[in-house]
Structure 1
Amino acid sequence: MTSVPKAHPSRKVRHVLGLSGGKDSAALAIYMRDRVPEMEYFFCDTGAELPETYEYLTRLEAALGKPIVRLNAERDFDHWLQVYQGTLPSPQIRWCTKNLKIKPLEAWIGDDEAISYVAIRADENRLGYISTKPNITAVFPFRDDGIDKDGVMRILDEAGIGLPAYYEWRTRSGCYFCFFQRKHEWVGLADRHPDLFEKAVQYEEKVNYEATAMQGRKYTWSQGESLRELLARREEIEAKHRAAMERAARRIKPNRPLLEVLSDALDEDDDTPPCAVCHL
Protein backbone atom coordinates (compact mmCIF):
# COMPACT_ATOMS: atom_id res chain seq x y z
CA MET A 1 0.00 0.00 0.00
CA THR A 2 1.30 3.44 -0.94
CA SER A 3 2.58 5.38 2.04
CA VAL A 4 1.73 9.08 1.88
CA PRO A 5 4.93 11.15 2.28
CA LYS A 6 5.00 13.09 5.52
CA ALA A 7 5.63 16.82 5.63
CA HIS A 8 8.31 18.44 7.74
CA PRO A 9 6.60 19.59 10.99
CA SER A 10 7.35 23.26 10.27
CA ARG A 11 6.30 23.19 6.62
CA LYS A 12 3.00 22.73 4.86
CA VAL A 13 3.24 20.41 1.87
CA ARG A 14 0.62 20.49 -0.87
CA HIS A 15 -0.65 17.24 -2.35
CA VAL A 16 -1.56 17.65 -6.04
CA LEU A 17 -2.89 15.27 -8.67
CA GLY A 18 -3.15 16.21 -12.32
CA LEU A 19 -6.06 14.98 -14.43
CA SER A 20 -5.64 14.62 -18.17
CA GLY A 21 -9.19 13.59 -19.00
CA GLY A 22 -8.00 10.00 -19.45
CA LYS A 23 -8.74 6.79 -17.59
CA ASP A 24 -5.51 6.36 -15.60
CA SER A 25 -5.45 9.77 -13.92
CA ALA A 26 -9.19 9.52 -13.23
CA ALA A 27 -8.69 6.15 -11.56
CA LEU A 28 -5.78 7.49 -9.50
CA ALA A 29 -7.93 10.40 -8.32
CA ILE A 30 -10.58 7.94 -7.10
CA TYR A 31 -7.91 5.70 -5.58
CA MET A 32 -6.37 8.55 -3.57
CA ARG A 33 -9.63 10.32 -2.68
CA ASP A 34 -9.93 8.87 0.82
CA ARG A 35 -6.23 8.23 1.34
CA VAL A 36 -5.32 11.91 0.98
CA PRO A 37 -8.41 14.03 1.80
CA GLU A 38 -6.44 17.27 1.35
CA MET A 39 -5.57 16.39 -2.26
CA GLU A 40 -5.81 19.23 -4.81
CA TYR A 41 -6.97 18.06 -8.22
CA PHE A 42 -6.11 20.09 -11.30
CA PHE A 43 -6.58 20.04 -15.05
CA CYS A 44 -4.43 22.06 -17.47
CA ASP A 45 -7.09 23.42 -19.82
CA THR A 46 -5.71 24.43 -23.21
CA GLY A 47 -9.13 25.57 -24.41
CA ALA A 48 -8.85 23.02 -27.22
CA GLU A 49 -10.04 19.91 -25.42
CA LEU A 50 -12.69 17.52 -26.72
CA PRO A 51 -16.26 18.07 -25.45
CA GLU A 52 -16.15 14.51 -24.09
CA THR A 53 -13.19 15.47 -21.90
CA TYR A 54 -15.04 18.35 -20.23
CA GLU A 55 -18.08 16.10 -19.67
CA TYR A 56 -15.89 13.43 -18.07
CA LEU A 57 -14.28 15.94 -15.72
CA THR A 58 -17.73 17.05 -14.55
CA ARG A 59 -18.62 13.44 -13.77
CA LEU A 60 -15.35 12.98 -11.94
CA GLU A 61 -15.88 16.08 -9.80
CA ALA A 62 -19.15 14.58 -8.55
CA ALA A 63 -17.37 11.36 -7.59
CA LEU A 64 -14.52 13.20 -5.86
CA GLY A 65 -16.82 15.56 -3.98
CA LYS A 66 -14.63 18.57 -4.68
CA PRO A 67 -13.83 20.80 -7.66
CA ILE A 68 -11.06 20.16 -10.14
CA VAL A 69 -9.04 23.36 -10.53
CA ARG A 70 -8.78 24.47 -14.16
CA LEU A 71 -5.37 25.88 -14.98
CA ASN A 72 -5.29 28.13 -18.02
CA ALA A 73 -2.19 29.49 -19.71
CA GLU A 74 -1.80 33.27 -19.71
CA ARG A 75 -1.37 33.11 -23.48
CA ASP A 76 -3.44 30.85 -25.73
CA PHE A 77 -2.45 28.51 -28.55
CA ASP A 78 -2.75 31.22 -31.21
CA HIS A 79 -0.30 33.43 -29.32
CA TRP A 80 2.33 30.71 -29.10
CA LEU A 81 1.78 29.69 -32.71
CA GLN A 82 2.76 33.22 -33.66
CA VAL A 83 5.75 33.18 -31.30
CA TYR A 84 6.97 29.98 -32.98
CA GLN A 85 6.49 31.62 -36.38
CA GLY A 86 3.76 29.31 -37.61
CA THR A 87 5.52 26.08 -36.62
CA LEU A 88 2.80 23.61 -35.67
CA PRO A 89 3.68 21.53 -32.60
CA SER A 90 4.89 18.03 -33.38
CA PRO A 91 6.50 15.03 -31.65
CA GLN A 92 9.85 16.75 -32.28
CA ILE A 93 8.77 20.26 -31.20
CA ARG A 94 6.29 19.98 -28.32
CA TRP A 95 5.94 23.66 -27.55
CA CYS A 96 2.24 23.21 -26.75
CA THR A 97 3.06 20.91 -23.82
CA LYS A 98 5.64 23.32 -22.45
CA ASN A 99 3.58 26.50 -22.72
CA LEU A 100 0.00 25.31 -22.25
CA LYS A 101 0.51 22.54 -19.71
CA ILE A 102 3.80 22.68 -17.81
CA LYS A 103 4.13 26.44 -17.32
CA PRO A 104 0.58 26.88 -15.90
CA LEU A 105 1.12 23.95 -13.53
CA GLU A 106 4.45 25.19 -12.20
CA ALA A 107 3.09 28.75 -11.85
CA TRP A 108 0.12 27.39 -9.83
CA ILE A 109 2.41 25.50 -7.46
CA GLY A 110 4.93 28.34 -7.30
CA ASP A 111 7.55 27.83 -4.60
CA ASP A 112 5.31 25.69 -2.39
CA GLU A 113 6.54 22.28 -1.35
CA ALA A 114 4.39 19.83 -3.27
CA ILE A 115 3.97 16.11 -3.75
CA SER A 116 2.73 15.31 -7.25
CA TYR A 117 0.82 12.04 -7.68
CA VAL A 118 1.49 10.59 -11.14
CA ALA A 119 -0.78 7.99 -12.77
CA ILE A 120 1.80 5.59 -14.16
CA ARG A 121 0.55 2.00 -13.91
CA ALA A 122 2.57 -0.99 -12.75
CA ASP A 123 2.45 -2.50 -16.26
CA GLU A 124 3.87 0.60 -17.97
CA ASN A 125 7.48 1.34 -18.80
CA ARG A 126 7.42 5.14 -18.87
CA LEU A 127 7.84 8.01 -16.44
CA GLY A 128 5.27 10.62 -17.44
CA TYR A 129 5.96 14.27 -16.68
CA ILE A 130 8.40 14.75 -13.81
CA SER A 131 9.01 18.34 -12.79
CA THR A 132 12.62 19.44 -12.48
CA LYS A 133 11.70 22.01 -9.84
CA PRO A 134 13.29 21.00 -6.51
CA ASN A 135 10.13 21.81 -4.54
CA ILE A 136 8.01 19.25 -6.43
CA THR A 137 8.39 15.56 -5.58
CA ALA A 138 6.73 12.92 -7.77
CA VAL A 139 5.22 9.70 -6.39
CA PHE A 140 3.69 6.76 -8.27
CA PRO A 141 0.96 5.02 -6.23
CA PHE A 142 -0.17 2.63 -8.97
CA ARG A 143 3.35 1.49 -9.71
CA ASP A 144 4.13 1.12 -6.00
CA ASP A 145 0.93 -0.82 -5.31
CA GLY A 146 1.10 -3.07 -8.38
CA ILE A 147 -2.03 -1.69 -10.05
CA ASP A 148 -2.17 -2.44 -13.78
CA LYS A 149 -4.69 -1.73 -16.55
CA ASP A 150 -7.17 -4.29 -15.19
CA GLY A 151 -6.90 -2.63 -11.78
CA VAL A 152 -7.58 0.79 -13.29
CA MET A 153 -10.69 -0.50 -15.07
CA ARG A 154 -11.89 -2.11 -11.85
CA ILE A 155 -11.49 1.16 -9.89
CA LEU A 156 -13.48 3.10 -12.49
CA ASP A 157 -16.22 0.46 -12.69
CA GLU A 158 -16.62 0.23 -8.93
CA ALA A 159 -16.82 4.02 -8.65
CA GLY A 160 -19.48 4.16 -11.38
CA ILE A 161 -17.30 6.48 -13.47
CA GLY A 162 -16.59 4.32 -16.47
CA LEU A 163 -14.60 5.67 -19.41
CA PRO A 164 -14.75 8.95 -21.34
CA ALA A 165 -16.98 8.71 -24.42
CA TYR A 166 -14.07 9.44 -26.76
CA TYR A 167 -12.63 5.99 -26.01
CA GLU A 168 -15.12 4.67 -28.55
CA TRP A 169 -12.78 5.96 -31.27
CA ARG A 170 -9.70 7.46 -29.63
CA THR A 171 -7.34 5.99 -27.04
CA ARG A 172 -5.60 9.16 -25.88
CA SER A 173 -6.77 12.29 -24.14
CA GLY A 174 -5.54 15.65 -25.37
CA CYS A 175 -6.41 18.54 -27.66
CA TYR A 176 -8.73 17.94 -30.59
CA PHE A 177 -5.83 18.74 -32.93
CA CYS A 178 -3.26 16.66 -31.04
CA PHE A 179 -0.50 15.59 -33.43
CA PHE A 180 -0.24 12.26 -31.60
CA GLN A 181 -3.58 11.13 -33.05
CA ARG A 182 -3.38 8.11 -35.33
CA LYS A 183 -4.75 8.26 -38.86
CA HIS A 184 -7.99 6.51 -37.92
CA GLU A 185 -8.48 8.82 -34.95
CA TRP A 186 -8.35 11.84 -37.27
CA VAL A 187 -11.10 10.18 -39.31
CA GLY A 188 -13.01 9.66 -36.07
CA LEU A 189 -12.67 13.35 -35.23
CA ALA A 190 -13.99 14.29 -38.68
CA ASP A 191 -17.02 12.03 -38.15
CA ARG A 192 -17.87 13.02 -34.58
CA HIS A 193 -16.73 16.62 -34.46
CA PRO A 194 -16.57 17.94 -38.03
CA ASP A 195 -16.39 21.52 -36.74
CA LEU A 196 -13.24 20.75 -34.73
CA PHE A 197 -11.71 18.82 -37.61
CA GLU A 198 -12.30 21.83 -39.86
CA LYS A 199 -10.63 24.11 -37.29
CA ALA A 200 -7.58 21.85 -37.33
CA VAL A 201 -7.57 21.99 -41.14
CA GLN A 202 -7.75 25.79 -41.02
CA TYR A 203 -4.71 25.97 -38.73
CA GLU A 204 -2.80 23.71 -41.07
CA GLU A 205 -3.77 25.60 -44.22
CA LYS A 206 -3.08 28.99 -42.68
CA VAL A 207 0.49 28.16 -41.65
CA ASN A 208 1.17 26.49 -44.99
CA TYR A 209 -0.22 29.44 -46.96
CA GLU A 210 2.15 31.71 -45.05
CA ALA A 211 5.02 29.26 -45.51
CA THR A 212 4.44 29.18 -49.26
CA ALA A 213 4.44 32.98 -49.43
CA MET A 214 7.75 33.12 -47.54
CA GLN A 215 9.22 30.00 -49.18
CA GLY A 216 9.43 28.38 -45.79
CA ARG A 217 8.88 24.86 -44.54
CA LYS A 218 5.36 23.43 -44.59
CA TYR A 219 3.86 21.72 -41.52
CA THR A 220 1.06 19.19 -41.12
CA TRP A 221 -0.66 17.78 -38.03
CA SER A 222 -0.37 14.19 -39.23
CA GLN A 223 3.08 13.20 -40.41
CA GLY A 224 3.48 12.84 -44.16
CA GLU A 225 0.20 14.37 -45.36
CA SER A 226 -2.28 17.16 -44.83
CA LEU A 227 -5.60 16.50 -43.10
CA ARG A 228 -7.49 16.94 -46.36
CA GLU A 229 -5.21 14.37 -48.01
CA LEU A 230 -5.72 12.08 -45.04
CA LEU A 231 -9.50 12.34 -45.22
CA ALA A 232 -9.40 11.66 -48.96
CA ARG A 233 -7.87 8.28 -48.02
CA ARG A 234 -10.74 7.49 -45.62
CA GLU A 235 -11.65 4.16 -47.25
CA GLU A 236 -8.06 2.94 -47.24
CA ILE A 237 -7.54 4.01 -43.61
CA GLU A 238 -10.80 2.43 -42.45
CA ALA A 239 -10.08 -0.83 -44.28
CA LYS A 240 -6.63 -1.00 -42.67
CA HIS A 241 -8.16 -0.24 -39.28
CA ARG A 242 -10.82 -2.96 -39.61
CA ALA A 243 -8.14 -5.50 -40.49
CA ALA A 244 -6.02 -4.39 -37.52
CA MET A 245 -9.03 -4.67 -35.19
CA GLU A 246 -9.63 -8.22 -36.37
CA ARG A 247 -5.99 -9.17 -35.81
CA ALA A 248 -5.99 -7.53 -32.38
CA ALA A 249 -9.19 -9.33 -31.39
CA ARG A 250 -7.60 -12.68 -32.27
CA ARG A 251 -4.50 -11.91 -30.21
CA ILE A 252 -6.35 -10.74 -27.11
CA LYS A 253 -8.20 -13.03 -24.74
CA PRO A 254 -12.00 -13.25 -25.13
CA ASN A 255 -14.22 -10.75 -23.30
CA ARG A 256 -11.51 -8.08 -23.14
CA PRO A 257 -12.67 -4.43 -23.21
CA LEU A 258 -13.12 -2.74 -26.57
CA LEU A 259 -10.57 -0.14 -25.45
CA GLU A 260 -7.84 -2.77 -25.26
CA VAL A 261 -8.62 -4.12 -28.71
CA LEU A 262 -8.84 -0.59 -30.14
CA SER A 263 -5.55 0.45 -28.56
CA ASP A 264 -3.76 -2.62 -29.89
CA ALA A 265 -5.17 -2.08 -33.37
CA LEU A 266 -4.30 1.60 -33.51
CA ASP A 267 -0.77 0.88 -32.33
CA GLU A 268 -0.24 -1.06 -35.57
CA ASP A 269 -0.76 2.23 -37.40
CA ASP A 270 1.42 4.39 -35.18
CA ASP A 271 3.48 3.48 -32.14
CA THR A 272 4.66 7.04 -31.43
CA PRO A 273 4.78 7.49 -27.63
CA PRO A 274 2.08 9.90 -26.47
CA CYS A 275 2.58 13.20 -24.69
CA ALA A 276 3.86 12.52 -21.18
CA VAL A 277 1.61 15.23 -19.70
CA CYS A 278 -1.59 14.82 -21.70
CA HIS A 279 -1.81 11.02 -21.80
CA LEU A 280 -2.27 9.82 -18.22
Structure 2
Amino acid sequence: MTIPVQTAQPIRHVLGISGGKDSSALAVHMRDKVPQMEYFFCDTGAELPETYDFLSRLEGALGKQIVRLNAARDFDHWMQIYQGTLPSASMRWCTRQLKLKPLEDWLGDDQAISYVAIRADENRLGYISTKTNITAVFPFREDGVDLDGVNRILDQAGIGLPDYYEWRTRSGCYFCFFQRKHEWVGLADRHPDLFERAVEYEDKVNFEATASRGRKYTWSQGESLRELIGRRDEIERKHEEALVRAAQRSRPNLPLIDILTDALDEESDEAGCAVCHL
Protein backbone atom coordinates (compact mmCIF):
# COMPACT_ATOMS: atom_id res chain seq x y z
CA MET A 1 0.00 0.00 0.00
CA THR A 2 1.01 3.65 -0.33
CA ILE A 3 2.09 5.23 2.98
CA PRO A 4 1.04 8.91 3.19
CA VAL A 5 3.93 11.35 2.79
CA GLN A 6 5.33 12.81 6.03
CA THR A 7 4.76 16.55 6.44
CA ALA A 8 6.55 19.19 8.55
CA GLN A 9 4.09 18.48 11.36
CA PRO A 10 4.69 15.06 12.99
CA ILE A 11 2.04 12.52 12.07
CA ARG A 12 1.11 9.65 14.34
CA HIS A 13 0.43 6.26 12.80
CA VAL A 14 -2.09 4.31 14.86
CA LEU A 15 -3.75 0.93 14.51
CA GLY A 16 -6.57 -0.21 16.76
CA ILE A 17 -6.65 -3.83 17.91
CA SER A 18 -10.13 -5.16 18.66
CA GLY A 19 -9.03 -8.59 19.82
CA GLY A 20 -10.38 -10.11 16.59
CA LYS A 21 -8.63 -11.70 13.65
CA ASP A 22 -8.79 -8.88 11.08
CA SER A 23 -7.23 -6.08 13.12
CA SER A 24 -4.63 -8.49 14.50
CA ALA A 25 -3.67 -9.63 11.00
CA LEU A 26 -3.44 -6.00 9.88
CA ALA A 27 -1.08 -5.27 12.78
CA VAL A 28 1.23 -8.06 11.61
CA HIS A 29 0.82 -6.96 7.98
CA MET A 30 1.95 -3.42 8.80
CA ARG A 31 4.60 -4.34 11.39
CA ASP A 32 7.60 -3.90 9.11
CA LYS A 33 6.03 -1.38 6.74
CA VAL A 34 5.43 1.28 9.40
CA PRO A 35 7.98 0.80 12.21
CA GLN A 36 6.63 3.86 14.10
CA MET A 37 3.14 2.37 14.32
CA GLU A 38 1.33 2.77 17.66
CA TYR A 39 -0.96 -0.15 18.48
CA PHE A 40 -3.84 0.42 20.88
CA PHE A 41 -6.68 -1.52 22.46
CA CYS A 42 -9.74 0.19 23.96
CA ASP A 43 -10.19 -1.80 27.17
CA THR A 44 -13.68 -1.50 28.63
CA GLY A 45 -12.79 -3.64 31.63
CA ALA A 46 -15.46 -6.12 30.51
CA GLU A 47 -13.48 -8.08 27.94
CA LEU A 48 -13.33 -11.86 27.71
CA PRO A 49 -10.30 -13.56 29.33
CA GLU A 50 -9.53 -15.08 25.92
CA THR A 51 -9.16 -11.58 24.48
CA TYR A 52 -6.51 -10.60 27.01
CA ASP A 53 -4.63 -13.86 26.36
CA PHE A 54 -4.71 -13.25 22.61
CA LEU A 55 -3.39 -9.69 23.02
CA SER A 56 -0.37 -11.08 24.86
CA ARG A 57 0.32 -13.51 22.00
CA LEU A 58 -0.02 -10.70 19.48
CA GLU A 59 2.39 -8.46 21.40
CA GLY A 60 4.97 -11.23 21.17
CA ALA A 61 4.61 -11.37 17.39
CA LEU A 62 4.72 -7.59 17.01
CA GLY A 63 7.64 -7.09 19.38
CA LYS A 64 5.88 -4.00 20.65
CA GLN A 65 3.40 -3.15 23.40
CA ILE A 66 -0.27 -2.68 22.60
CA VAL A 67 -1.31 0.41 24.56
CA ARG A 68 -4.43 -0.16 26.68
CA LEU A 69 -6.83 2.76 26.60
CA ASN A 70 -9.22 2.84 29.54
CA ALA A 71 -12.14 5.17 30.04
CA ALA A 72 -11.92 7.55 33.00
CA ARG A 73 -15.28 6.20 34.19
CA ASP A 74 -16.41 2.57 34.11
CA PHE A 75 -19.50 0.90 32.68
CA ASP A 76 -21.51 1.20 35.90
CA HIS A 77 -20.92 4.95 36.04
CA TRP A 78 -22.17 5.48 32.50
CA MET A 79 -25.18 3.24 33.04
CA GLN A 80 -26.22 5.58 35.85
CA ILE A 81 -25.70 8.59 33.58
CA TYR A 82 -27.95 6.96 30.99
CA GLN A 83 -30.59 6.42 33.68
CA GLY A 84 -30.08 2.70 34.10
CA THR A 85 -30.63 1.88 30.44
CA LEU A 86 -28.72 -1.10 29.06
CA PRO A 87 -26.84 -0.29 25.84
CA SER A 88 -28.44 -1.65 22.68
CA ALA A 89 -28.13 -1.56 18.91
CA SER A 90 -30.17 1.66 18.89
CA MET A 91 -28.34 3.23 21.85
CA ARG A 92 -24.66 2.32 21.73
CA TRP A 93 -23.50 4.51 24.57
CA CYS A 94 -20.98 1.87 25.61
CA THR A 95 -19.14 2.27 22.30
CA ARG A 96 -19.16 6.05 22.52
CA GLN A 97 -18.09 6.36 26.15
CA LEU A 98 -15.84 3.33 26.65
CA LYS A 99 -14.13 3.08 23.26
CA LEU A 100 -14.44 6.16 21.05
CA LYS A 101 -13.93 8.80 23.74
CA PRO A 102 -10.77 7.20 25.22
CA LEU A 103 -9.34 6.87 21.71
CA GLU A 104 -10.01 10.46 20.70
CA ASP A 105 -8.75 11.71 24.07
CA TRP A 106 -5.54 9.74 23.56
CA LEU A 107 -4.99 11.23 20.12
CA GLY A 108 -6.05 14.74 21.13
CA ASP A 109 -5.42 17.20 18.31
CA ASP A 110 -2.43 15.32 16.91
CA GLN A 111 -2.46 14.65 13.21
CA ALA A 112 -2.94 10.90 12.88
CA ILE A 113 -3.35 8.22 10.25
CA SER A 114 -5.65 5.45 11.45
CA TYR A 115 -5.14 2.05 9.82
CA VAL A 116 -8.50 0.28 9.55
CA ALA A 117 -8.82 -3.49 9.12
CA ILE A 118 -11.49 -3.71 6.42
CA ARG A 119 -10.67 -6.59 4.07
CA ALA A 120 -10.71 -6.48 0.30
CA ASP A 121 -13.70 -8.85 0.22
CA GLU A 122 -15.86 -6.75 2.57
CA ASN A 123 -18.42 -4.08 1.77
CA ARG A 124 -18.44 -1.97 4.91
CA LEU A 125 -16.68 1.05 6.36
CA GLY A 126 -15.85 0.29 9.99
CA TYR A 127 -15.18 3.12 12.41
CA ILE A 128 -14.07 6.36 10.75
CA SER A 129 -13.52 9.32 13.05
CA THR A 130 -15.28 12.58 12.26
CA LYS A 131 -12.35 14.53 13.71
CA THR A 132 -10.49 16.38 10.99
CA ASN A 133 -7.07 15.51 12.41
CA ILE A 134 -7.62 11.76 11.91
CA THR A 135 -7.34 10.25 8.43
CA ALA A 136 -8.42 6.65 7.81
CA VAL A 137 -6.59 4.33 5.41
CA PHE A 138 -7.48 0.77 4.40
CA PRO A 139 -4.33 -1.29 3.69
CA PHE A 140 -6.11 -4.61 3.16
CA ARG A 141 -8.28 -3.10 0.45
CA GLU A 142 -5.29 -1.50 -1.24
CA ASP A 143 -3.21 -4.69 -0.99
CA GLY A 144 -6.03 -7.06 -1.95
CA VAL A 145 -6.00 -9.02 1.33
CA ASP A 146 -9.19 -11.08 1.78
CA LEU A 147 -10.37 -13.53 4.44
CA ASP A 148 -8.01 -16.27 3.29
CA GLY A 149 -5.19 -13.74 3.38
CA VAL A 150 -6.03 -12.77 6.95
CA ASN A 151 -5.98 -16.40 8.09
CA ARG A 152 -2.70 -16.97 6.26
CA ILE A 153 -1.05 -13.93 7.91
CA LEU A 154 -2.01 -15.13 11.39
CA ASP A 155 -0.91 -18.71 10.71
CA GLN A 156 2.45 -17.66 9.31
CA ALA A 157 3.03 -15.39 12.31
CA GLY A 158 2.36 -18.32 14.64
CA ILE A 159 -0.49 -16.49 16.35
CA GLY A 160 -3.54 -18.40 15.18
CA LEU A 161 -7.02 -17.30 16.23
CA PRO A 162 -8.40 -16.17 19.58
CA ASP A 163 -9.74 -19.09 21.61
CA TYR A 164 -13.20 -17.51 21.87
CA TYR A 165 -13.66 -18.30 18.17
CA GLU A 166 -14.50 -21.84 19.27
CA TRP A 167 -17.94 -20.53 20.25
CA ARG A 168 -18.18 -16.87 19.36
CA THR A 169 -17.48 -15.01 16.12
CA ARG A 170 -16.93 -11.50 17.47
CA SER A 171 -14.66 -9.80 19.96
CA GLY A 172 -16.12 -7.36 22.45
CA CYS A 173 -17.49 -7.22 25.98
CA TYR A 174 -18.75 -10.40 27.60
CA PHE A 175 -22.23 -8.85 27.79
CA CYS A 176 -22.23 -7.48 24.22
CA PHE A 177 -25.82 -7.12 23.02
CA PHE A 178 -24.76 -8.17 19.50
CA GLN A 179 -24.19 -11.75 20.68
CA ARG A 180 -26.40 -14.34 19.06
CA LYS A 181 -28.46 -16.73 21.18
CA HIS A 182 -25.97 -19.59 20.82
CA GLU A 183 -23.12 -17.31 21.84
CA TRP A 184 -24.92 -16.43 25.08
CA VAL A 185 -25.20 -20.17 25.75
CA GLY A 186 -21.48 -20.44 25.02
CA LEU A 187 -20.76 -17.70 27.55
CA ALA A 188 -22.84 -19.50 30.18
CA ASP A 189 -20.94 -22.75 29.55
CA ARG A 190 -17.41 -21.31 29.45
CA HIS A 191 -17.69 -18.34 31.79
CA PRO A 192 -20.68 -18.91 34.09
CA ASP A 193 -19.47 -16.13 36.39
CA LEU A 194 -19.59 -13.58 33.56
CA PHE A 195 -22.98 -14.86 32.41
CA GLU A 196 -24.30 -14.37 35.94
CA ARG A 197 -22.96 -10.82 36.02
CA ALA A 198 -24.84 -10.08 32.80
CA VAL A 199 -27.99 -11.56 34.38
CA GLU A 200 -27.48 -9.35 37.44
CA TYR A 201 -27.37 -6.25 35.22
CA GLU A 202 -30.70 -7.26 33.69
CA ASP A 203 -32.22 -7.96 37.09
CA LYS A 204 -31.06 -4.63 38.53
CA VAL A 205 -32.23 -2.60 35.53
CA ASN A 206 -35.61 -4.29 35.41
CA PHE A 207 -36.19 -3.99 39.16
CA GLU A 208 -35.69 -0.24 38.87
CA ALA A 209 -37.62 0.01 35.58
CA THR A 210 -40.65 -1.76 37.03
CA ALA A 211 -40.96 0.92 39.71
CA SER A 212 -40.46 3.86 37.37
CA ARG A 213 -41.16 3.10 33.71
CA GLY A 214 -42.65 -0.37 33.59
CA ARG A 215 -40.42 -1.30 30.65
CA LYS A 216 -38.40 -4.51 30.33
CA TYR A 217 -34.74 -4.25 29.31
CA THR A 218 -32.79 -7.25 28.05
CA TRP A 219 -29.35 -7.89 26.56
CA SER A 220 -30.72 -10.31 23.97
CA GLN A 221 -33.54 -9.16 21.75
CA GLY A 222 -36.95 -10.41 22.74
CA GLU A 223 -36.13 -12.28 25.97
CA SER A 224 -34.21 -12.10 29.20
CA LEU A 225 -31.07 -14.15 29.73
CA ARG A 226 -32.96 -16.32 32.22
CA GLU A 227 -35.55 -17.07 29.55
CA LEU A 228 -32.85 -17.63 26.95
CA ILE A 229 -30.89 -20.14 29.01
CA GLY A 230 -34.15 -21.91 29.76
CA ARG A 231 -34.36 -22.61 26.02
CA ARG A 232 -30.80 -23.98 25.90
CA ASP A 233 -31.76 -27.30 24.29
CA GLU A 234 -33.83 -25.64 21.58
CA ILE A 235 -31.10 -23.07 20.83
CA GLU A 236 -28.41 -25.75 20.65
CA ARG A 237 -30.54 -27.94 18.37
CA LYS A 238 -31.16 -25.07 15.95
CA HIS A 239 -27.49 -24.15 16.03
CA GLU A 240 -26.39 -27.69 15.18
CA GLU A 241 -28.83 -27.75 12.27
CA ALA A 242 -27.49 -24.40 11.04
CA LEU A 243 -23.90 -25.70 11.28
CA VAL A 244 -24.79 -28.64 9.05
CA ARG A 245 -26.39 -26.36 6.47
CA ALA A 246 -23.44 -23.96 6.59
CA ALA A 247 -20.95 -26.81 6.13
CA GLN A 248 -22.89 -28.04 3.11
CA ARG A 249 -22.76 -24.56 1.55
CA SER A 250 -19.07 -24.05 2.30
CA ARG A 251 -16.09 -24.93 0.16
CA PRO A 252 -13.89 -27.84 1.34
CA ASN A 253 -11.39 -27.25 4.19
CA LEU A 254 -12.99 -23.97 5.24
CA PRO A 255 -11.88 -23.04 8.79
CA LEU A 256 -14.39 -23.77 11.54
CA ILE A 257 -14.70 -20.08 12.44
CA ASP A 258 -16.00 -19.29 8.95
CA ILE A 259 -18.56 -22.10 9.09
CA LEU A 260 -19.59 -20.93 12.56
CA THR A 261 -19.98 -17.36 11.30
CA ASP A 262 -22.20 -18.56 8.46
CA ALA A 263 -24.31 -20.63 10.83
CA LEU A 264 -24.75 -17.82 13.36
CA ASP A 265 -25.58 -15.34 10.62
CA GLU A 266 -28.75 -17.36 10.01
CA GLU A 267 -29.84 -16.28 13.47
CA SER A 268 -29.08 -12.58 13.17
CA ASP A 269 -28.05 -10.25 10.38
CA GLU A 270 -27.24 -7.34 12.71
CA ALA A 271 -23.82 -5.89 12.06
CA GLY A 272 -21.62 -5.78 15.12
CA CYS A 273 -20.03 -2.70 16.58
CA ALA A 274 -17.36 -1.64 14.08
CA VAL A 275 -14.91 -0.51 16.74
CA CYS A 276 -15.20 -3.75 18.71
CA HIS A 277 -15.39 -6.35 16.00
CA LEU A 278 -12.78 -5.65 13.35
Kindly report which structure 2 residues correspond to 1:76-155, keeping only aligned pairs within 5 A, or say none: 76-155=74-153
The percentage of aligned residue pairs carrying the same residue is: 76
The aligned counterpart of 1:4 is 3
Q: 2:17 aligns with which of 11, 16, 19?
A: 19
Q: In 2, distance between residues paired with 1:85 and 1:27? A: 39
Q: In 1, distance between residues paired with 2:109 and 2:136? A: 15
The aligned counterpart of 1:251 is 249
Q: How far does residue 214 in structure 1 lie from its aligned partner after superposition?
A: 1.3
2:226 is paired with a residue of what secondary structure? helix
Q: In 1, distance between residues paired with 2:213 and 2:135? A: 46
Q: In 1, distance between residues paired with 2:49 and 2:63? A: 22
Q: Which moved more, 1:214-223 or 1:238-247?
A: 214-223
Q: How far does residue 37 in structure 1 lie from its aligned partner after superposition?
A: 0.2
Kindly report which structure 2 residues correspond to 1:45-60, keeping only aligned pairs within 5 A, or say none: 45-60=43-58
Q: 1:115 corresponds to which letter in structure 2?
A: I
Q: In 1, distance between residues paired with 2:211 and 2:229? A: 25
Which stretches of structure 1, 4 residues or more, deviate above 6 A after TM superposition? none
Q: In 2, distance between residues paired with 1:161 and 1:46? A: 23
1:185 is paired with a residue of what secondary structure? helix
1:67-90 Cα deviation digits (max 9, x unpaired)? 000000001000000000011000
Q: How far does residue 216 in structure 1 lie from its aligned partner after superposition?
A: 3.5
1:35 is paired with a residue of what secondary structure? coil
Q: In 1, distance between residues paired with 2:181 and 2:5? A: 46
The aligned counterpart of 2:237 is 239
Q: 2:121 corresponds to which letter in structure 1?
A: D
Q: TM-score, normalised by structure 2?
A: 0.99
1:58-115 Cα deviation digits (max 9, x unpaired)? 0000110010000000010000000000110000000000000000000000000000
The aligned counterpart of 1:28 is 26
Unaligned runs of 5+ in 1: none
Q: How far does residue 217 in structure 1 lie from its aligned partner after superposition?
A: 2.0
2:274 is paired with a residue of what secondary structure? coil
Q: 2:3 corresponds to which letter in structure 1?
A: V
Kindly report which structure 2 residues correspond to 1:185-264, keeping only aligned pairs within 5 A, or say none: 185-264=183-262
1:138 is paired with a residue of what secondary structure? strand
Q: How far does residue 254 in structure 1 lie from its aligned partner after superposition?
A: 1.4
1:182-221 Cα deviation digits (max 9, x unpaired)? 0000000000000000000000110000001113322100
Q: 1:104 corresponds to which letter in structure 2?
A: P
Q: In 2, distance between residues paired with 1:272 and 1:193? A: 24
1:98-148 Cα deviation digits (max 9, x unpaired)? 000000000000000000000000111110000000000000000111110
Q: How far does residue 7 in structure 1 lie from its aligned partner after superposition?
A: 1.8
The aligned counterpart of 1:64 is 62
1:269 is paired with a residue of what secondary structure? coil
Q: In 2, distance between residues paired with 1:267 and 1:32? A: 30
Q: 2:157 aligns with which of 139, 152, 159?
A: 159
Q: In 2, distance between residues paired with 1:61 and 1:82? A: 35
